[in-house]
Structure 1
Amino acid sequence: MNKLGISGTLIQVDPVRYSPAGVPIAEAVILHRSSQTVAMQARQVECELTVQASGTLATQLAQLATGAQVKLEGALNRRSVKSRQLILILNRIEKE
């Protein structure tokens, strides 16, 4: 299974670009901060994650402002065939 849900603040929202096939693509960066229980101990968690949306979700993502609070769902994938960097490919965007 490859499904990830994350909430946080958009700290970067890039303009829509288009694939060679004409599909709209947008990227953003989400900042997540929370307290999680790990081994029965409270732990502060903070991370930044690049997210990518295509099609109608790309337009929706690109219209959000930096600082927006969102909940995102999708699947993890490599940024490209030659990259080891992970990105979240979105299939759901919810503004909080």
Structure 2
Amino acid sequence: MNQLQFVATILERDVLRYTPAGVPIVSATLSHSSQQVEAGVERLVEFEMAALAAGEISGRFSRAELGAVHQFTGFVAKKNRSSKALVFHIIDFSAAA
């Protein structure tokens, strides 16, 4: 299974664009920071992740407030066929509590 869920802020976001097939898409960078327990020791986990929202969700994502905290659900895939870089594909998101 390839499913990822985490809380993050929208750090940067490009404008809504369309693929050659006419699918709306928005690229972004998400930023996460949390305390996690690993091997019984607390550690600070911080990362930025490239993300994109395609299709129906892209419109709502393009209007989401920059800097606001959201819970994201999606999956990870290679940026393109020949790349080793990963991109988080947003399936859904909601305001974090």
Q: CA RMSD in A?
A: 0.9
Q: Distance in 2 between matches of 1:28 and 1:61?
A: 10
- Aligned counterpart, 1:32: 32
Please tell me whether residue 19 in structure 1 is matched to residue 28 in structure 2: no
Which runs of no fewer than 5 residues in structure 1 stay unpaired?
A: none
Task: Spell out structure 1 runs of 4+ moving beyond 2 A.
Answer: none
- Aligned counterpart, 2:8: 8
- Aligned counterpart, 2:77: 77
AA of the residue aligned to 1:15: V
Q: Distance in 2 between matches of 1:66 and 1:59?
A: 14
TM-score by length of 1: 0.95
Which runs of no fewer than 5 residues in structure 2 stay unpaired?
A: none
Report the identity percentage: 30
How many residue pairs get matched?
96
Q: CA deviation at 1:55?
A: 1.1
